[in-house]
Amino acid sequence: MKICIYGAGAIGGYLGVQLARAGADVSLVARGAHLAAMRERGLTLLAGEETHTVHPRCTDDPTALGVQDTIIVTLKAHSITGVIEKMQPLLGPHTRIVTAVNGIPYWYFYKHGGQYENSTLESIDPGGRQWRELGAERAIGCIVYPATEIEAPGVIRHVYGNNFPLGEPSGEITSDVQRLADLFVAAGLKAPVLDRIRDEIWLKLWGNVCFNPISALTHATLDVICTDPATRALSRAIMVETQAIAETFGVKFRVDVERRIEGARKVGAHKTSMLQDLERGRPMEIDPLVTVVQEMGRLTGIPTPALDSVLAMVTQRARIAGLYDGISTSSDPRALAVA
């Protein structure tokens, strides 16, 4: 199986090392100093007391790689539209695209059923370009639970976790998704194949939608957000609104709000990805984690006053810092564009 990891940063690099060690034919698309270091010295993973270095193909030019069996997209979700054209040489008639990104993926309403079948969400896929040009039919869902970081160019540190749940949008256990799961397991990863992948997407998003923007506004870590009475109550209010929206689309949550908040509290003094991006001067994932929930709420007619307030503030915070280039958050409902 020829696998291209597109966006081989912290998570993509971790996957690249593990899959290469398992004998997979892996190529990495990266850029800048990180790419230069990987070309010169290989890609190194620091995992506890262990150090592993691999030497996969690394490039910033996807045309050099040819058609792939599987593309694992580990970019920030808001970056995908900008690389659609560059990804085209990797796509063949049977190529599958694994969306290992945070938030709601571009293919969400593919084989969803109901009135929103084959629809796109403007906040995450402006103009439906990802749906049309990457192809919703190619998608395999993936939720990323591990925490990793780039310690230095060409060096990835694994902090915790190795779980990457996978699933077809249709819920079927196809040979493609099973073969990918088997490869992940051979690489020392957990990769349960789920028949309701959207439930798992929302379970992770449930925390991201509140903890990420609150952390960017307060600079607080998860333990503080989840124990301070005010920020805990605000998180709960946003989660209740989010749950109501998700359940309208048939999503089932396997834990309740309080248990989800407690799970985040137990992570400890962890900075969310949005806070890390803010501190490092990188664009924040506001649209795929927060705006999209607001958009889906407006589609269902469910009010989101707590989310609206936090979204307005974090968007303004990002604009002041020059770290936001997404869609504007207006009070007008956004309509779905049918693909």
Enzyme catalytic residues: 204
Q: Say if CB 142 and CB 193 are below 8 A apart.
A: no
CA atoms of 204 and 144, how far apart (whole Å):
9
10 Å CB burial of residue 160 (0-12, 13-18, 19+) is exposed
Q: Could you give the CA distance from residue 112 to residue 250 in angstroms, rounded to a whole number?
A: 10
Place of tokens 């995908």: 80
3-state secondary structure of 108: coil
Check: CB of residue 102 under 8 Å from CB of residue 322.
no
Q: Hey, how many other C-beta atoms are within 10 angstroms of the C-beta on 94?
A: 11
Q: Is 37 within 8 Å of 46 (Cβ atoms)? A: no
Which of helix, strand or coil describes residue 110?
Answer: coil
DSSP E strands in 55-118: the ranges are 57-59, 70-73, 96-99
